[in-house]
Structure 1
């Protein structure tokens, strides 16, 4: 479920850059902050008992970091849709040993954007193979270079766990190992939806879009409404579709909940080079009931 209100900001959104050891990989000197991934409580091991429906069945995996020539960056990881109790942060590590917490682009009104502070029922980029996880969470960043130098690594880590009981309610302070940056390349092109038409009374919509050169797959995301006055929208890709390149239309079953109200769609694109489109540039496409 996606809520229109952001979660409370508990921690500072940026970290002051400080110099450290000149050797790459040495621990960086950090300014004082409430959560420090070098703190002894952090572990490279995902420690969770999975006893609650709000907890993960699968640990995060497939961490990737790419920095483009314009100093923008894209990070991604495989996440479990049940991991709703974890908020994530991302540190850029530089060749001089310094590091800075980078804040991804966020927009709660756009379906296409993955958010570090919550998961959704299936996430933005649904993975049909659920042997290790449910969806790929993609995060876009701007201006990650410092003094003209791009980061050489990124680190992903948990910065908050909520009230649900997972691994002793808050002991799962996980951090990834530093992820080496892949430099260059270009983002996938945008897939423009040309139509989203309801084709029957069951709430099935035929969604069509323009083909994108170099696409490997398309992820179709839709939003509909929970029942009851005043309830917030939710969206899911479990009831949406992921299709391979070459296909530019799909039928999405949105159901009859809140019949009469429009559905909204976006199409995220994964390129053959493993780069996602720039999600913040995508607008929701309205499909009238």
Structure 2
């Protein structure tokens, strides 16, 4: 009864802490993107796309190599995730067979099997989410690699914004896949006990807060990017013709097409 009580209280408390943190992070990204690294990186990527597509014939090789590196990173994470899913499935099937053969009673077997199955299934679910998110990331990066080097799109503001949205969506899915890896750490420690999981959830939330929010260095970098973007505005204005940059806005990383939030 004591172990069941700890599992019920500490596991749900740890998940509640991580859930509250990610709800706060999502709200901050939507309302104040520049306070988070995710929103700041989305702004930098969009400025990068605008700079690359101002002269795609000159910057095409750099763009393709940069996007290829992102595709390779997503491919590696997706491969690791699906491999771990296969290993966890083998471990679960083996443990189930051993427990069924060595169980003292049916009730003990059912209780232990249920708890163990929930633990392994939650870990398996994290890696499945990581795999799917990284596959989607590869998809968006592949589309972007074709469009970012198209010379016919360099004078079309709407086309440049569309390419930037696809790049940000690919990076957003990559962040979700990596976040699934982070969530799997407390679930791994749940195998050793609910106390380990609760401590890991609190520690992981603190570490993620430090990684997800902007600090002195990122604020200085943000100022530098803004100055550089302002200096390049005149040249990009000439490349876009009468459209200019006054109608161009940097979008939130949670891009859904029309009605994007302005950063």
Assess same fold via TM > 0.5.
Answer: no
Interval containing the TM-score (normalised by the shorter chain): under 0.3
Highest RCO, 1 vs 2 (Cα 8 Å, sep ≥ 6): 2
Normalised to the residue count of structure 1, the TM-score between the two structures is 0.24
Q: Which has the higher helix share?
A: 2
Larger radius of gyration: 2
TM-score with structure 2 setting the length: 0.26
Q: Which has the higher strand share?
A: 1
